[in-house]
Amino acid sequence: MIFLQILWNDILPLIVFLAAGWFMDSKFKLDLNTYAKLVTRVVLPAFIFYSMYLYRPDAATAILLPAGIALLLADSAAAYLIAKALGFTGDEKNTFRALSTLSNAGQIGIALILMIFSHPPYASNGAAPCLDEARGSIVLLLILMNIAINTVGASLLGAKGNSLSSTVKFIISMPAVYAIFAAAAVRIGGIVLEQTFLWPVLSHFTGAFIILTTITAGAQLHRTPIGKPDLFTIGTSINKLFLSPLIAFAIIMLSSVFTPVTAQVFFIYAAVPSSFSLILFAVDYNCCPHRVAKSILYSSAFGLVTLTCAIRLAQYLFPAGV
């Protein structure tokens, strides 16, 4: 019964929006470049600003960034060893590591977390007391993952010249980073946004963010070529959907400072399928583009099942609610 509730409340809405993106792209050929720019430069920064303004940092949040970095390093190291054991070399090995390490937290992950913590057992009588903490937690992890995708991901898939200076330059160019500083400045300055004309606009960005990101993801899936899964595809899916949550669980247990909400967010975040952004890098650098696209498609399909299990397991391992 609990699994059916998770499917109905969390997974089914995700499938509906993904299917809407798939259908719309098949009928109208969406301009994904424009959609991506709209999300990353307008909707995402506004959503992050709103989330960080509402969230109150604590000791549990402070652990998320080092924990997120530890998860990335452990996932990458495990993928390197597994790729070597399976006989992958060169571009195949690097691609295997990227797909096994970098997740679609910016689209599927964040939308899923928002839906999970917006209904029972985390919400009651119109109030969702866990939502601000969950939203603030996933935003921090999202920014970390976006930096990793655009630096480590680009490097693994063939980018040249990813020096320290170019990495810093990329981070400085991220609108999301400035959104965090802006939210902090507003808080420190004692400005009460709830009493301004901006608040009704900002409060609607959560819904807009979920719709835009999942529809864009569905359109990207529509353009992904389908083929039979092979050892490479199955290997990356197992690493990302099974091994990564196990590593996340170990990190949570070893740190012992996570709250139930941040522990659930971190565990579910680790179970999110591979990043769609890797398709763009693979095409740009001509690094196994069809293999990357196929692996991401199967990872996303398998993830609809494994994420359901991960959500239920997170609720069981780290109980929280109203």
In whole angstroms, give the CA distance from residue 52 to residue 135: 8
> Architecture of 2-317 per CATH?
Up-down Bundle (1.20)
Q: How far is CA 82 from CA 121, 152, 227, 248, in A?
A: 38, 19, 23, 18
Amino acid occupying residue 244: S
By the 8 A CB rule, do 79 and 100 touch? yes
Radius of gyration of the chain measured on its C-alpha atoms: 19
Highest mean pLDDT among 138-142, 202-206, 218-222: 138-142
pLDDT computed for residue 100 by the predictor? 94
pLDDT computed for residue 201 by the predictor? 82
Give the chain's largest Cα–Cα span.
61
pLDDT computed for residue 219 by the predictor? 82
| pLDDT tens per residue, range 242-264 | 999 999 999 999 988 899 999 99
Torsion of CA 287, 155, 299, 43, to 10 degrees: -120
**Residue 316 pLDDT > 80:** yes
By the 8 A CB rule, do 113 and 307 touch? no
pLDDT computed for residue 176 by the predictor? 76
With cut-offs at 50, 70 and 90, classify the pLDDT of residue 297: confident
**Residue 182 pLDDT > 60:** yes
Closest of 245, 269, 266, 194 to residue 74, by C-alpha: 245
Query: For residue 111, what are its two tokens?
Result: 């939308």
Query: For residue 211, what are its two tokens?
Result: 């719709």
Mean confidence (pLDDT) of the chain: 83
| pLDDT tens per residue, range 14-69 | 788 888 988 998 988 888 778 777 877 888 788 778 877 877 767 667 889 899 99
**Domain range annotation of the chain:** 2-317
With cut-offs at 50, 70 and 90, classify the pLDDT of residue 238: very high
SS3 320: coil
Please state the rounded mean pLDDT for residues 198-215.
78
| Residues facing residue 127 across a β-bridge | 124
> How many C-beta atoms lie closer than 10 Å to residue 267's C-beta?
24
Q: What percent of the chain has pLDDT over 90?
A: 28
Rounded (10°) angle between helices 289-317 and 205-222? 140
By the 8 A CB rule, do 14 and 218 touch? no
In whole angstroms, give the CA distance from residue 269 to residue 199: 28
Q: How far is CA 223 from the centre of its chain?
A: 20
Q: For the ranges 5-14, 248-257, 262-271, 310-319, which has the lowest average pLDDT? A: 5-14
pLDDT computed for residue 21 by the predictor? 87
Q: What percent of the chain has pLDDT over 70?
A: 89
Return phi, psi of residue 103, to 5°: -110, 170
Please state the rounded mean pLDDT for residues 291-311.
88
Return phi, psi of residue 119, to 5°: -140, 170
**Residue 160 pLDDT > 80:** no
